[in-house]
Amino acid sequence: MLAVGAVVGLGGGTAAADPPGIPSAATARTELAALRVARDGSMDGYSRDLFPHWSTVQGSCNTRETVLRRDGDDVEVGSTCAPTSGSWHSPYDGGTWTRASDVDIDHMVPLAVAWRTGARSWTTAKREAFANDLSSPQLWAVTDDVNQSKGDKTPDAWKPSLRSHWCEYARAYTRVKYRYELTVHSAEQAALSGMLATC
């Protein structure tokens, strides 16, 4: 079993919770200023398989199922830990869903972005920990097609459609980049700074 941080929200019938570790706006600005600015590296050799996910967290529950339980309201699960009922509010677009199949788990800093900004040199174990990190604001339950539209884009190329979420998004994104000592390119840094200005 992979140690991916605290197991959150494994009890049934819980109310939604924010991902952990989101810093204040002031802290996020300090962390953003501390990030090394550099051009993105190559995508040569990249594969999502180099970031193993979704790993077992506890019993039959994997990371995806754990996030669905943490981020949903009144989530009930079956014997395999898959949700059988509940609702999920997507902070990116404001959508609310009652089927888990309509919800994706977004990597706040996309795996491909991590690869070209530092993760290429990591061990597979570190990449697995990054892809399953429950102890930082890296994993979010969001509308599936919204997550797909984001893809591997950085904040200069994609932002949540809800401007009211820009502050939280930038705080979380910056924290993950800072925690894992990943670089930012100049347009990405400027976009994050602008989003933090909405806080």
Query: Which tokens is 104 given?
Result: 């994706």
Amino acid in position 102: D
pLDDT for position 9? 39
Q: How far is C-alpha 170 from the chain's CA centre?
A: 12
Q: Which residues of 33-62 are buried (b: 16+ CB within 10 A; e: fewer)?
A: eebeeeeeeeeeebeeebbebbbbbeeebb
Q: What is the pLDDT of residue 4?
A: 31
Contact 100, 88 (CB under 8 A): yes
Residue keyed to tokens 């994706």: 104
Per-residue pLDDT tens digits of the chain, which is 199 residues long: 233 333 333 444 445 678 999 999 999 999 999 999 999 999 999 999 999 999 999 999 999 999 999 999 999 999 999 999 999 999 999 999 999 999 999 999 999 999 999 999 999 999 999 999 999 999 999 999 999 999 999 999 999 999 999 999 999 999 999 999 999 999 999 999 999 999 9
Q: Which residues pair with 88 in a beta bridge?
A: 72, 97
Residue-range domain boundaries for the chain = 25-196
pLDDT of residue 16: 65
Single-letter amino acid code for the residue at 199: C
User: For the range 46-53, what are the long-range contacts, defined as Cβ-Cβ under 8 Å and sequence gap of 24 or more?
Assistant: 46/112, 46/115, 46/116, 46/120, 48/111, 48/112, 50/115, 50/124, 50/127, 51/111, 51/114, 51/119, 51/127, 51/128, 51/130, 51/131, 52/124, 52/127, 52/128, 52/131, 52/132, 53/128, 53/131, 53/132
Residue 120: how many other CB atoms lie within 10 Å: 16
